[in-house]
């Protein structure tokens, strides 16, 4: 059974167009979240400012993760990207939790 090259090209073009729409939608979503975080009041406290800063950093990490995953060519690529993201996020979470606890303790128990 011979493959129709024109049909393959059309499917490829449709797939690329669909992926571009998904990327644009994700960019719009992440931009909305960034605006929401930046507009959210921190309460003028060091703790609130840290929460806001960490939220922005974590959002950027998630956005970078989504971008990298969209470029994965193989399952192995996707697993490696996911593993690196999770490893980094666990490390980041530990550091952020420690710093938030220190800041909270400093303001609550001077």
Question: Which pLDDT tens digits describe the chain residue by residue (110 residues)?
Answer: 456 777 777 776 777 777 778 878 888 888 888 888 888 787 788 888 899 999 999 999 999 999 999 888 899 999 999 999 999 999 999 999 999 999 989 887 76
pLDDT value of residue 110: 67
Q: For residue 89, give every residue at least 6 positions away whose Cβ sits within 8 Å of its Cβ, in sequence order, or none.
A: 58, 61
Cα gap 28→24, rounded to integer Å: 6
- Quick one: tokens of 4? 């129709």
pLDDT value of residue 59: 92
The residues spanned by each domain of the chain are 5-108
Cα gap 35→75, rounded to integer Å: 33
CB 42 within 8 A of CB 52: yes
- Quick one: tokens of 95? 């550091």
User: Would the CA dihedral through 77, 78, 84, 85 be positive or negative?
Assistant: positive
pLDDT value of residue 2: 52
pLDDT value of residue 38: 80
CB 33 within 8 A of CB 59: yes
pLDDT value of residue 1: 47
- Quick one: tokens of 51? 């929460």
- How does DSSP classify residue 44? T
pLDDT value of residue 23: 79
């Amino acid at each position: 059974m011979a493959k129709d090259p024109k049909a393959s090209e059309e499917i490829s073009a449709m797939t690329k167009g669909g992926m571009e729409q998904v990327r644009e939608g994700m960019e719009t979503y992440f931009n909305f979240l960034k605006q929401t975080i930046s507009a959210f009041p921190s309460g003028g406290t060091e703790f609130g400012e840290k929460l806001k800063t960490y939220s922005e950093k974590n959002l950027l990490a998630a956005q970078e993760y989504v971008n990298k995953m969209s470029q994965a060519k193989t399952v192995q690529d996707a697993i490696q990207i996911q593993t690196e993201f999770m490893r980094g996020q666990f490390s980041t979470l530990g550091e952020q939790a420690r710093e938030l606890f220190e800041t909270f303790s400093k303001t609550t128990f001077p």
